[in-house]
């Protein structure tokens, strides 16, 4: 069986604890007395490292394909998880008494330890604590986006406006499977951003109209179904899309839609007609200039560099925004995600609400009905 550290070294570190250090562990700070290996191991347990996936998602219908589930961490549950890990050394009433005497200090030590683990793994300097120790949240994300972009970036913020000062610490970010991502946050976020990796520049166009099967829909105005949003090439808004809005206000005072209908080749509709697209972009840029005057800079020429700017596609970002509510106080709350995070319309994820009554009954019957489980029980 594999372990995170050499067993001999680990046991030796514990056995070398002096009587004086043991006394200090009961009356003073625990972090100085608890071996580093033990702090690290228990801190990882707090962050659900090594926890069987079935404990997180007991039925795959709770996390369907292309879905995301936000959750709170029950600190009582993780404390009991640590209890179980420490129970290996409790065989007499003496050990039980010692455990009860020091557990509050152990818990306080692990509150700090769990916040330092990710920084230590990444060789980053420890960050200032950003949330109440009782407030740990996270999400499970199941999507082909996880499989196709291993470098996905996740950021969480408190408040309505994301900023470095309002960012929450990311305690853990791990792929539990080829298409499943687990993230844990130090606090309760109001905003969670999931972004494609920013390692490279990409060119692309948009397909705004899709049918129920995800196929691109064209029309008489735009037979290909592809659109291209144009960008400012000069001036203070260079790089921004024309009509880009912040707080529902266009930063360039341009309100009209100037998207370009992207032409494709007749022989192969999956291949762009580059020459025709260049002409369409140039014509539309001239129209924007004529309609908006000084709000848009364009000298009437479209060279290779300008064409490249128009074709740039920045990494896709999906934002989830909610109310940042505290965890319910009920012992066994019914977790209704829609009451915490508002629905978002996106292409790669779907927020799942609570199970219907029919689904709940079906799951219960499968768990408790031995016939459905494929076995029978006969009393003697």
Predicted confidence (pLDDT) at residue 5 exceeds the cutoff of 50: no
Count how many residues are written for the chain.
380
What is the pLDDT confidence band of residue 212, given thresholds at 50, 70 and 90?
Answer: low
* Predicted pLDDT at 317: 81
What is the pLDDT confidence band of residue 318, given thresholds at 50, 70 and 90?
Answer: confident
* Predicted pLDDT at 231: 92
Predicted confidence (pLDDT) at residue 332 exceeds the cutoff of 50: no
Percent above pLDDT 90 for the chain: 24
pTM metric for this prediction: 0.63
- Mean pLDDT score, 87-100: 75
Predicted confidence (pLDDT) at residue 128 exceeds the cutoff of 70: no
* Predicted pLDDT at 330: 57
What is the DSSP code string of 262-313? PPB-SS-TTSB-HHHHHHHHHHHHHHHHHHHGGGS---S---HHHHHHHHEE
* Predicted pLDDT at 138: 93
**What does the pLDDT look like over 60-78, one tens digit per residue?**
889 998 899 999 988 888 8
* Predicted pLDDT at 19: 45
* Predicted pLDDT at 356: 62
What is the pLDDT confidence band of residue 80, given thresholds at 50, 70 and 90?
Answer: confident
* Predicted pLDDT at 286: 94
What is the pLDDT confidence band of residue 374, given thresholds at 50, 70 and 90?
Answer: very low
- Mean pLDDT score, 262-277: 88
What is the pLDDT confidence band of residue 108, given thresholds at 50, 70 and 90?
Answer: confident
- Mean pLDDT score, 293-305: 91
* Predicted pLDDT at 246: 82
What is the pLDDT confidence band of residue 119, given thresholds at 50, 70 and 90?
Answer: confident
* Predicted pLDDT at 115: 87
Which residues, including other chains, have CB under 8 Å from residue 201's CB and lie 6 or more apart?
312
- Mean pLDDT score, 275-295: 93
Structure tokens at 377: 């029980």
158 against 353, higher pLDDT: 158
What is the pLDDT confidence band of residue 376, given thresholds at 50, 70 and 90?
Answer: very low
What is the pLDDT confidence band of residue 343, given thresholds at 50, 70 and 90?
Answer: very low
**What does the pLDDT look like over 136-178, one tens digit per residue?**
899 999 999 899 888 899 999 998 888 888 899 999 999 999 9
Domain ranges of the chain: 7-64+74-121, 213-313
What is the DSSP code string of 174-195? EEEETTEEEEEEEB--SEEEEE
Residues 281, 279: Cα–Cα separation, whole Å: 5
Q: Give how far Cα 348 sits from Cα of 62, 143, 176, 352, Å.
A: 17, 7, 19, 13
CA 175: distance to chain centroid? 11
Structure tokens at 27: 């009356």
């Amino acid at each position: 069986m594999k372990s995170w550290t050499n067993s001999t070294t680990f046991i030796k570190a514990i056995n070398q604890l002096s009587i004086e250090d043991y006394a200090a562990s009961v009356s003073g700070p625990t972090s100085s007395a608890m071996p580093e290996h033990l702090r690290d191991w228990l801190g990882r347990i707090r962050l659900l490292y090594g926890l069987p996936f079935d404990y997180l998602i007991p039925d795959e219908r709770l996390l369907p394909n292309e879905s995301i589930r936000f959750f709170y961490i029950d600190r009582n549950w993780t404390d009991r998880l640590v209890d179980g890990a420490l129970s290996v050394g409790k065989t007499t009433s003496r050990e039980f008494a010692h455990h009860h005497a020091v557990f509050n200090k152990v818990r306080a030590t692990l509150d700090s330890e769990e916040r330092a683990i990710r920084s230590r793994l990444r060789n980053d300097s420890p960050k200032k604590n950003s949330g109440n120790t009782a407030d740990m949240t996270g999400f499970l994300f199941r999507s082909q986006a996880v499989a196709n972009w291993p470098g996905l970036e996740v950021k969480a913020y408190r408040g309505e406006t994301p900023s470095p000062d309002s960012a929450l610490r990311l305690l853990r970010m791990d792929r539990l499977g080829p298409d499943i991502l687990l993230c844990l946050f130090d606090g309760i976020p109001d905003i969670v951003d999931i972004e494609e990796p920013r390692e490279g520049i990409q060119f692309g166009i948009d397909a705004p109209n899709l049918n129920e099967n995800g196929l691109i829909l064209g029309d008489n105005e735009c037979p290909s179904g592809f659109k291209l949003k144009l960008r400012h090439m000069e001036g203070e808004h260079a790089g921004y899309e024309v009509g880009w809005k912040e707080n529902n206000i266009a930063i360039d005072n341009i309100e009209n839609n100037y998207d370009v209908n992207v032409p494709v080749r007749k022989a192969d509709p999956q291949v762009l007609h580059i020459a025709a697209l260049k002409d369409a972009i140039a014509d539309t840029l001239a129209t924007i200039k004529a309609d908006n005057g000084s709000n848009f800079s364009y000298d009437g020429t479209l060279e290779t560099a300008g064409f490249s700017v128009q074709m740039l596609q920045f990494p896709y970002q999906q934002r989830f925004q909610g109310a940042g509510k505290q965890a319910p106080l009920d012992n066994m709350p019914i977790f209704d995600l829609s009451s915490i995070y508002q629905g978002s319309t996106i292409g790669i994820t779907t927020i799942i609400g609570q199970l219907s009554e029919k689904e709940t009954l079906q799951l219960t019957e499968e768990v408790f009905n031995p016939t459905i489980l494929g076995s029978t029980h006969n009393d003697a």
